[in-house]
Amino acid sequence: MLSELKELEKLKVVSEMAASISHEVRNPLTVTKGFLQLLQDKTISDDKKEFYIRLSLNELERAEVIISDYLTFAKPSLENVELLELNEEIDYVMKIVTPYATMRNITIHLFKAEAIFVAGERQKFHQCLINIIKNGIEAMPGSGQVTINLHQSNEQAVIDIQDTGIGMSNDQVRRLGTPYYSTKTTGTGLGTMVVYSIIKAMRGEIKVESQQGIGTRFTIKLPIVDCKM
């Protein structure tokens, strides 16, 4: 009964989100269309051209993030489950987030472990880590550090992602994972919601500890797949 209620509740959220997502995606598309029309003008300066192209790419990227976050929430079940080696997957994610961090004067430190295998869908797992790390980076105006620590404990893989950012109050931590909760002017409030649903689909746990003015630590625990013969 309880699980049926939860399913109904989720269906409601999913359909409400579909409506507002089409709205949110239409904005960047309209803006990009406008810039492309402006670019048809052969007489505009190179500076202007570059400006229009950069803004269009930003807008399209935003639309892409909104859509992929929404789809992951609507369909978190894992279809293409593979064996993932965590050191390798985190290395891959580092390649994606490092330019974003460098641009904002932030360094990422990674402490790896011996090979650890878990089961999951590669792309969704990447999206989950990227969403957490990006939030950490965005919580550090000026500069700061993100520390990622991978280790094993009691048959579980543990990934700690810690930032030296602005932190959150207990109330803010409680609201994490609920749709549209965002304190950012251009935030979507979908990132952590996706994180929670992916970790749940991987039969893992997630814990958040945060202190205002000090920083935040996300701890993800995942069941290890034993690969020894």
The site for ligand ADP (CB under 6 A) is made up of: 131, 135-136, 139, 163, 165-168, 176, 181-184, 187-193, 216
User: Looking at beta carbons only, is 28 or 191 nearer to ligand ADP?
Assistant: 191
Nearest to ligand ADP of 23, 42 (CB atom): 23
177 contacts 73 by C-beta, under 8 angstroms: no
Q: Which does 146 bind (CB under 5 to 8 A by kind): ligand ADP, Mg ion, none?
A: none
- Residue 76 binding target from Mg ion, ligand ADP, none, CB below 5 to 8 Å by type: none
The nearest distance, CB 155 to Mg ion, in angstroms, is 31
Q: Which position among 56, 72, 127, 135 is part of the footprint of Mg ion (CB under 5 A)? A: 135
For the bound state, the minimum distance from the C-beta of residue 227 to ligand ADP, rounded and expressed in Å, comes to 32
* Residue 216 binds Mg ion, judged by CB under 5 A: no
Cα 11 to Cα 6, 72, 75, 79, 179: the distances in Å are 9, 14, 11, 20, 13
From Mg ion, ligand ADP, none, interface partner of 56 (C-beta below 5 to 8 A by class): none
Binding positions for Mg ion, 172-201, rule CB under 5 A: 191
By CB under 5 A, the count of residues binding Mg ion is 2
